[in-house]
Amino acid sequence: MDSLVGFRFKPTNEEIIRLLKKKRLDPDFSVHTIKEIDFYSFDPWDLPRHSEIQCEEKVWYFYCERYYKSAKSKQAHRRTKSGYWKVTGKGSDIKRKNSTEVIGTKKILPFCPRRSASKKAKTEWVMHEISVEDDPLYKKDFVVCRLERKRDGELSTSTSVEDQSSPDLTSCSTIIHD
């Protein structure tokens, strides 16, 4: 996609959930701002060039089909060539705006290099995995991976700003149609 002057893609979690449900109902569904990719086939530093949107904010979105460690397991496979995405906690509920209705889940996963001298090695890469509950109508098990490259001193996993809708006229809410 060619860069549009002033374009910002800052969807709320609720907007991402809406797109994810459409993708799970129809695996051929696509939007130009979120590319479908085999996310775990790449190391995090290789992923940005595969995004449809190149941005200064260092945030990229991808649809990813979820794979499990075995047919009977519900533990997702999240290894790459150079490391793995480490689950931190059980995840948090995503609620509909102005409601207590849970519409999805978000897990925060920092990237951990496989051959690290320290078990607590931190990288500048963090992924937010956004998912929805299973439904018999869904055709495939997709999630949305929100990849972030943190700058020095920003390695926290706070997400309070992203849950707010963007005031920009070119925000996601102006380009997504039901």
Q: Which domains does the chain have, with CATH numbers?
A: 13-173 (2.170.150.80)
Return the higher-pLDDT residue of 123 and 118: 123
Range 100-121 average pLDDT: 84
Residue 61, strand partner residues: 146
- What would the two tokens of residue 27 be? 């695996």
pLDDT of residue 8: 72
Percentage of residues in the chain having pLDDT higher than 70? 76
Residue 104's DSSP bridge partners are 94
pTM exceeding the 0.85 threshold for the entire prediction: no
Rounded Cα distance between 72 and 69, Å, is 8
Q: Are 105 and 94 in contact (CB under 8 A)?
A: yes
> Residue 14: phi, psi to the nearest 5?
-65, -40
Q: Return the pLDDT at 160.
A: 36
